[in-house]
Chain A
Amino acid sequence: MKNFLTLFRFEIKELLAINRGKRRFDFLGTLVSLAISFLILFILGIFAYAILESYIEVRFDKVYDTLGRTHEFLNLIYTVLIIALAFLSLLRMRRVLSDFPGKELFLRLPVKSSTVFLAKLSALLLANYLVAFPVILTANLVVYLVFKPPFVFWLLTALVLVLLPLVAFILAALLLIPFLCIIRLISRSYLAVFLTLCGALTGAFILYAKLLSLIQQMFTLGSIRFLFNENFVNFMQKLTRITFPANFLANLALGQRVGLSLLFVLLVVLLGAYAVYLITHTLYRIALYKNKEVFVVHRKKKKISVRSPFLALIRKEFVLVYREPRYAFSFLAMALCMPIMVYSCFTLFRTLIENTLGLNVDFALSLFITLIFCILTNTFCATNISREGIAGMKNKLFPLSPKKILISKVVFCFTVSLLSLLMSVILLVIMTDVNLFDALFLLLFGALFCLSHILIATRMDLNNARLDSDSVTVENTENHTMAKTTLTGLIFAFLIGTLSVALLIFATGGSALLTIGAYVGPAIITLIYLSVALFYYLFRLENSFYEMVG
């Protein structure tokens, strides 16, 4: 028990990030994070309140069913929360089972593997509770304010607060083995990993775009009420009927068939918990005593191919990014998904501007959106030097000029960006009214802008890179290069975008000069940005390369 408490305390500290290189608990940082979280929750709460208030007004077969609608609302929120918590738990469990800090140390400690396992699981469960509590309380508060249930509602809410995170946790543990099998299957091929990342990113973005579209419709229609009709309610009813066990928890909260619902949920928890113990306990013992990395991609024998040093450097850049899931996600998947993002945002904002202002500023808008996404994609280039970690010092040994070595990194990033930009422009031409002339300008401005941004990001990283073994990850870049480059890029993108949009808005009166200005203005700013970037990149380049330390 003493061992368990010591380990559990250690896990809690890890969870609260007290141990991660900080001597003292970051009180101010935690306070700011909490304030931001509560602000977000507050805004979402207001949004949920508006939705529920309109939703309970929907008449089905000309009859109001306030309780039914509230049940569907609560059911949906619980379902989303269970899925999110289960997914988070799955990821954390995988980390516990495959690789976690201090694994070697735990092997040497005179502690049973089951105690380590129990401490880790308890911490994971606690993390679930920490996330679930504010969300459930907000959702139930919204229900209380709109539906006005009796006081017993809060007592039943306390039951939901205890049971929901537990249910999500058990669900995650039951899904753990299939999840690990899928991960193992995907990990066998770099392409499969990459495609999965692209799929996840596209899915997340489509979901985000749908939400934006909902907000846009709300703006257009003046109220969210008009979105909810009989068809929508029909769909919700069908959906919430199958969202087990969230529907039992919603029943419980709203005092519907309390005994039966509670019995069912408790049964699920008890049976699930036993199954979880058997499954994860066995897996944990195997994982703890496994010395080697769990998943290793075995490559096939390939014929030796000879390349020029420059091509070899570019290939190296590609391989190192493509085969590291975090990097592939941050750069390649972002670049591949950029066309969909640009297209979705463009259509959304064009409709919004047309409906609210009655204006057509297609070129300026497409330019603005494209540049913003160019920055988001190319911000990764701020790790061009530091992401190699200690291996980056090898570059200094090569019998190649620093310019050649560094330009290979720029060329790789620029090629990816250019392809992504080209696809975005083609999609805009095919799917929207953007004409060929505008598309060519868009491609030219975008390409020059990307090049400038990559040059600045690379050089900024070169100036600040510390190539020690601790700086091999993107997350560890202590110099805030990514934030600085993103800010620089955003300033120029906003300058270009707002100037172009403003000039086209003023040109609607028929001024040809202003219309030309909407093209020339951005061109001048882009060229200024490129000149600044080139000067910054080339200034004492070789000296900085040789001064780079490990």
Chain B
Amino acid sequence: MLVSVENLSKKYSRKSDYAIMDITLHGDAGEIVGILGHNGAGKSTTIKCITGMHPYESGTVTICGHDLAKEPLLAKKCFGYVSDEFALFEKMTGMEFVNFMADIYQVSAQERESRIEEFQKLFALGDSIYNPISSYSHGMKQKISLMGALIHHPKVFILDEPMIGLDPHTASAVKDFFRKHSDEGNLVLFSSHNLDTVEKVCDRVYIIDQGRILEEIHMKEFKEKGMDLEVYFLTVTQRVART
């Protein structure tokens, strides 16, 4: 099990309600796992707790066998993360940023050179990688975020709303990359409210609403039954809203 989350609960200060409650989810090698929910359902909070960006009240998060609370540095070495907000150092050039991330994760010169070359082709960045990030468009920033998160070839690749702002070509290339990365024995875990992306890409999907996991869907079986994810998602979330 590359990612294991057990009974994770998080409450924001100044708020009486829990943002997420008793979240339990797993991700294994070779899988693409999606967390699906509408805006404010608790997807980003879950992802931020898993990555250690937000402290949590109770529960355990284990990444590559390392408890995030007890061995945070070992756990953090195992994953790469792309956030929904552009957490980028805008005064750096794209190349400097990727190189900086490689330094932080202690990637060798040879490895980083070959990976940068590979990603430059994958994301069609060209020479604009040498320009300051502040001059980049939304999509370009997303591409650089992806490169920075992947430069150390993480076993676990975590993303929060990764497809926002990407052009159709890059979005397709990213989806292909997800599959390639998981086929190499890694895990891709991402949150999204885009039903289409989740349906096409994921092996397993967790539906989240009001801070709780409502359903776990195995996409292969789901598709074999001829079910429609959109109809199912709306039915499940509306049922919860009514209760």
The reply to whether A293 and B134 contact each other, CB–CB distance below 8 Å, is yes
Query: B81 on the interface (CB 8 Å rule)?
Result: yes
Minimum CB distance partner of B135 in chain A: A296
Q: Which of B88, B104, B109, B132 contacts A312 (CB 8 A)?
A: B104
Specify which chain B residues have a CB less than 8 angstroms from the CB of A305 in the assembled complex: 99
Specify which chain A residues have a CB less than 8 angstroms from the CB of B100 in the assembled complex: 312, 315-316
The reply to whether A391 and B132 contact each other, CB–CB distance below 8 Å, is no
Chain A contact residues: over half helix, strand or loop, or mixed?
A: loop
Q: Which of A296, A302, A390, A547 contacts B132 (CB 8 A)?
A: A296
A302 to B91, CA, bound (A): 16
Query: A400 on the interface (CB 8 Å rule)?
Result: yes
Specify which chain A residues have a CB less than 8 angstroms from the CB of B105 in the assembled complex: 399
Specify which chain B residues have a CB less than 8 angstroms from the CB of A301 in the assembled complex: 95, 127, 130
Q: Which of B53, B73, B83 contacts A400 (CB 8 A)?
A: B73
The reply to whether B89 and A391 contact each other, CB–CB distance below 8 Å, is yes
- Which residues of A455-512 are within 8 A (CB) of B? 469
Q: Which of A309, A324, A390 contacts B87 (CB 8 A)?
A: A390
Minimum CB distance partner of B51 in chain A: A397
Cβ contacts A396-430/B at 8 Å (1 or 0 each) = 11111100000000000000000000000000000
Query: B9 on the interface (CB 8 Å rule)?
Result: no
Query: A540 on the interface (CB 8 Å rule)?
Result: no
Cβ contacts B67-102/A at 8 Å (1 or 0 each) = 000000110110001010111111111011001101
The reply to whether A292 and B103 contact each other, CB–CB distance below 8 Å, is no
- Which residues of B201-218 are within 8 A (CB) of A? none
Q: Which of B91, B109, B131, B134 contacts A298 (CB 8 A)?
A: B131
Distance (whole angstroms) from the CB of B207 to the closest CB of chain A = 26
A324 to B135, CA, bound (A): 14
Query: A2 on the interface (CB 8 Å rule)?
Result: no
Q: Which of B83, B103, B132 contacts A308 (CB 8 A)?
A: B103
Specify which chain B residues have a CB less than 8 angstroms from the CB of A296 in the assembled complex: 131-132, 134-135
Query: B223 on the interface (CB 8 Å rule)?
Result: no
Are A324 and B104 also in contact (CB < 8 A) when A298-B130, A304-B99 are? no
Specify which chain A residues have a CB less than 8 angstroms from the CB of B74 in the assembled complex: 399
Specify which chain A residues have a CB less than 8 angstroms from the CB of B113 in the assembled complex: 304
Specify which chain A residues have a CB less than 8 angstroms from the CB of B16 in the assembled complex: none
Minimum CB distance partner of A190 in chain B: B91
The reply to whether A306 and B108 contact each other, CB–CB distance below 8 Å, is yes
Distance (whole angstroms) from the CB of B126 to the closest CB of chain A = 12
Interface centre among A302, A397, A550 (most CB of B within 10 A): A397
Specify which chain A residues have a CB less than 8 angstroms from the CB of B135 in the assembled complex: 292-293, 296
Are A390 and B85 also in contact (CB < 8 A) when A292-B135, A546-B55 are? yes
Interface centre among B73, B83, B104 (most CB of A within 10 A): B104
Distance (whole angstroms) from the CB of A396 to the closest CB of chain B = 5
Specify which chain B residues have a CB less than 8 angstroms from the CB of A11 in the assembled complex: none
Query: B112 on the interface (CB 8 Å rule)?
Result: yes
The reply to whether A299 and B106 contact each other, CB–CB distance below 8 Å, is no
Interface centre among A297, A308, A396, A399 (most CB of B within 10 A): A399
Query: A549 on the interface (CB 8 Å rule)?
Result: yes
The reply to whether B92 and A319 contact each other, CB–CB distance below 8 Å, is yes
Specify which chain A residues have a CB less than 8 angstroms from the CB of B112 in the assembled complex: 304, 306
The reply to whether A316 and B89 contact each other, CB–CB distance below 8 Å, is yes
Query: A238 on the interface (CB 8 Å rule)?
Result: no
Q: How many residues does chain B have at the interface if contact means C-beta atoms less than 8 Å apart?
A: 40
Minimum CB distance partner of A467 in chain B: B87
Are A393 and B87 also in contact (CB < 8 A) when A304-B109, A399-B77, A546-B55 are? yes
Q: How many residues does chain A have at the interface if contact means C-beta atoms less than 8 Å apart?
A: 40
The reply to whether B103 and A309 contact each other, CB–CB distance below 8 Å, is yes
Specify which chain B residues have a CB less than 8 angstroms from the CB of A308 in the assembled complex: 103, 106
Specify which chain A residues have a CB less than 8 angstroms from the CB of B109 in the assembled complex: 304, 306
A315 to B101, CA, bound (A): 12
Query: A394 on the interface (CB 8 Å rule)?
Result: yes
Query: B52 on the interface (CB 8 Å rule)?
Result: yes
Query: A300 on the interface (CB 8 Å rule)?
Result: yes
Query: A320 on the interface (CB 8 Å rule)?
Result: yes
Minimum CB distance partner of B83 in chain A: A393
The reply to whether B134 and A399 contact each other, CB–CB distance below 8 Å, is no
A316 to B96, CA, bound (A): 9
Cβ contacts B7-38/A at 8 Å (1 or 0 each) = 00000000000000000000000000000000
Interface centre among A304, A315, A390, A469 (most CB of B within 10 A): A304
Interface centre among B53, B83, B95 (most CB of A within 10 A): B53
Specify which chain B residues have a CB less than 8 angstroms from the CB of A300 in the assembled complex: 130
A304 to B105, CA, bound (A): 15
A394 to B116, CA, bound (A): 20
Specify which chain B residues have a CB less than 8 angstroms from the CB of A398 in the assembled complex: 76, 104
The reply to whether A394 and B87 contact each other, CB–CB distance below 8 Å, is yes
Query: A388 on the interface (CB 8 Å rule)?
Result: yes
Minimum CB distance partner of B73 in chain A: A399
Cβ contacts B110-122/A at 8 Å (1 or 0 each) = 0011001000000
Query: B54 on the interface (CB 8 Å rule)?
Result: yes
A546 to B53, CA, bound (A): 7
A126 to B7, CA, bound (A): 62
- Which residues of B34-70 are within 8 A (CB) of A? 51-55
Distance (whole angstroms) from the CB of A142 to the closest CB of chain B = 47
Cβ contacts A281-323/B at 8 Å (1 or 0 each) = 0000000000011001111111011111101110110011001
Specify which chain A residues have a CB less than 8 angstroms from the CB of B108 in the assembled complex: 306
A320 to B96, CA, bound (A): 12
Identify 20 new A-B residue pairs, CB closer than 8 A, beyond the known A304-B99, A304-B113, A324-B91. A293-B134, A297-B132, A298-B130, A299-B96, A300-B130, A301-B95, A301-B130, A304-B116, A309-B106, A313-B104, A315-B100, A319-B92, A390-B85, A391-B86, A391-B87, A391-B88, A393-B83, A396-B52, A397-B51, A399-B104
Which residue numbers of B lie inside 8 Å of A, CB to CB?
Answer: 51-55, 73-74, 76-77, 81, 83, 85-93, 95-96, 99-100, 102-106, 108-109, 112-113, 116, 127, 130-132, 134-135
Q: What are some 21 contacts across the A-B interface (CB < 8 A)?
A: A296-B135, A298-B131, A299-B130, A301-B95, A304-B113, A306-B103, A309-B103, A312-B104, A316-B100, A319-B91, A319-B92, A320-B89, A388-B89, A391-B90, A394-B87, A394-B89, A396-B52, A397-B51, A397-B52, A399-B73, A547-B55
